[in-house]
Amino acid sequence: MSLLTTVIGKHSRRACSPALWLGLALLSCAGSLAAAPDLDILFVSSRTSTDYLGFVDITSRTLRRETGRRIATTTLPADELGAGMQHDWDVIVSLGSVAARSLRKWDPASPVVYTLIPGSTYASLKTTRQLACPRDQCTAIYIDQPLERLFRITRRAFTGRRQLAVLLGPVSARQKDRLRQLADETGFSLQTATIHETRELLPALDGILKRAELLLSLPDPVAYNRRTAKSILLSSYRYRVPVIAYSKAYAEAGAALSIYSTPEQIAHQTARLLMNFFADRGAGLPGPQYPEQFNVQVNHHVSESLGLELSSASVLKAGAEGGGQ
């Protein structure tokens, strides 16, 4: 078991030796901290990446600046969690789906805030009892957008197009009823296809794209991943069907429109949630939340090649501000 990072005080960041582990996690390796921290937070990361490390840094700095309290933060990769770990953290912040699944195997005792995880994944883990939720003290800030926001922006961006297709996987299929309800409310004619294995992707995609004018993508580990992205974008382009995506990478790769929130935006929202929780612990954690801040990105090159004249990203975003929570 190794301690990846211990951050104590306002700017101090030191790597400690494995032998110190949790018994000395509240002390810096140089012994510079004289008193125990006011708050002790564990971040569990799905992987070591710039986005995740930046998330921890923003959340920690915001908490220290806004609360003025001494805060110790420990960051561990998900694969270093162990059943024998015992420590009384004030809260645990999980980053990503891999970390969320790993926490269930560890079964911690501290309250948990799940971040950078799709809403459908969180719901699936909770329904199947694979979600660590000590004494019912857990919540989430999702990485994906509320469906209401997606439908509102899609309708505004693609006026005149009403044949909407959605490819679903085992996780995102749970949203089918809500998709149909929103399609009815916004005037879309909805077509869905559900796959259970990646090899079913192309036949299902061909089936719905033949009659579609738009393809709305939703996070799902089977339907949408690094292996399927290229096939989905190429098939959609061949049928001249614009893709509405959920990440910046998809827009840059060939989606006509993408609606997404950055880890930085969600880190600021996480810090606000934690500040409220620490200010009144008796109230407990709030319910799961969608991102408050979001971005809209238009791929004008792809749009023009499909014969579309989309409004600017700022215009489309302005039309959706303040709703969809």
**Is 5-141's fold the same as 147-260+293-318's?**
yes
Distance (Å, rounded) from C-alpha 117 to C-alpha 274? Answer: 17
Nearest to 130 by CA among 94, 102, 163, 90: 102
Give the model's pLDDT for residue 21: 36
Give the model's pLDDT for residue 97: 94
Distance (Å, rounded) from C-alpha 197 to C-alpha 182? Answer: 27
Is the model more confident about 14 or about 308?
A: 308
pTM of the model: 0.85
177 CB burial (10 A radius; 0-12, 13-18, 19+): exposed
**Contact assessment for residue 232 and residue 202, using Cβ atoms and an 8 Å cutoff:** no
Over residues 69-124, the pLDDT tens digits come to 999 999 999 988 876 676 789 999 999 999 999 998 888 899 999 999 999 999 99
Q: What is the dihedral sign for C-alpha 247, 141, 93, 62?
A: positive
Give the model's pLDDT for residue 84: 61
- Domain positions in the chain: 5-141, 147-260+293-318
Nearest to 200 by CA among 169, 156, 160, 241: 169
176 CB burial (10 A radius; 0-12, 13-18, 19+): middle
Is the model more confident about 81 or about 140?
A: 140
pLDDT, average across residues 36-47: 90
Nearest to 195 by CA among 144, 231, 246, 149: 231
pLDDT-derived band of residue 282, with 50, 70 and 90 as boundaries? Answer: confident
Pick 147-260+293-318's CATH classification: 1.20.1090.10, 3.40.50.2300, 3.30.1330.10, 1.10.600.10.
3.40.50.2300
CATH 3.30.1390 matches 5-141: no
Give the model's pLDDT for residue 17: 36
**Contact assessment for residue 236 and residue 204, using Cβ atoms and an 8 Å cutoff:** no
Burial 183-196 (b: 16+ CB within 10 A, else e): beeeebebbbbbbe
pLDDT-derived band of residue 288, with 50, 70 and 90 as boundaries? Answer: very high
Is the model more confident about 36 or about 253?
A: 253
**Contact assessment for residue 255 and residue 243, using Cβ atoms and an 8 Å cutoff:** yes
Percentage of residues in the chain having pLDDT higher than 70: 86
Is the model more confident about 195 or about 23?
A: 195
Over residues 217-230, the pLDDT tens digits come to 999 999 988 889 99
